[in-house]
């Protein structure tokens, strides 16, 4: 699973920063049928968690209604230098992780 995470490399303490993530995933809805008429089992990224230096700052529960290759954006406050780590899992149990580091100056 390919994913891209965008975090500003540098920020001032207290600054509001935008964090973006895009995950390559088919997001199979479970409502479709294959060429032989067999239902295609639902397989979507059902949970995305973002941690900033270990503390959870964002969590999303996704479902069938989300388009393929989900893209998310949210903001947080830059507090300290460190790592922003995304973890996610799909219905098939496949896990993914992607990280980005940020340097925060006073």
Partner 1 sequence: MLPRSLRHACALACLFVWTCTQIGPVFAADAERPSPLRSGIEFTSADVRSLQDDDFQNPGMLWVTRGEELWRVAAGKSGKSCADCHQRAETSMKGVAARYPVYDAAAGDVVNLEGRINLCRTHRQAAKPLVYESENMLALTTYVAHQSRGARVEGAVPTELRASFERGRERYRKRIGQMDLACTHCHQQNWGRTLLAQTISQGHGNAYPAYRLEWQSLGSLQRRLRACYFGVRAEMPPYQSPELLDLEVYLAWRGRGLTIETPGVRR
Residues that bind partner 1 (CB under 8 A): 2-4, 6, 20, 22, 24, 26-27, 67-69, 71
Q: How far is the CB of 82 from partner 1 (least distance, A)?
A: 22
Comparing CB distances to partner 1, the nearer of 1 and 80 is 1
Q: How far is the CB of 73 from partner 1 (least distance, A)?
A: 8
Comparing CB distances to partner 1, the nearer of 53 and 73 is 73
Largest CA distance in the chain: 61
- CA–CA dist 66, 83 (Å, integer): 27
Secondary structure (DSSP) of 57-98 = EEEEE--TTSPSS-EEEEEEE--SSEEEEEEEEETT--EEEE
Comparing CB distances to partner 1, the nearer of 80 and 92 is 92
Residue 82 sits at the vertex; the CA angle it makes with 78 and 86, to the nearest 5 degrees, is 90
Q: How far is the CB of 67 from partner 1 (least distance, A)?
A: 6
């Amino acid at each position: 699973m390919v994913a891209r995470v965008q975090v500003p490399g540098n920020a001032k303490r207290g600054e509001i920063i935008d964090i973006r993530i895009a995950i390559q995933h088919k997001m199979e809805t479970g409502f479709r049928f294959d060429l032989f008429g067999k239902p295609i089992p639902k397989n979507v990224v059902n949970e995305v968690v973002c941690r900033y230096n270990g503390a959870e700052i964002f969590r999303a529960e996704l479902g069938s209604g989300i388009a393929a290759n989900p893209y998310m954006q949210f903001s947080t406050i830059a507090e300290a230098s460190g790592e922003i780590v995304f973890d996610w899992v799909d219905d098939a149990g496949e896990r993914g992780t992607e990280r980005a580091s940020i340097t925060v100056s006073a």
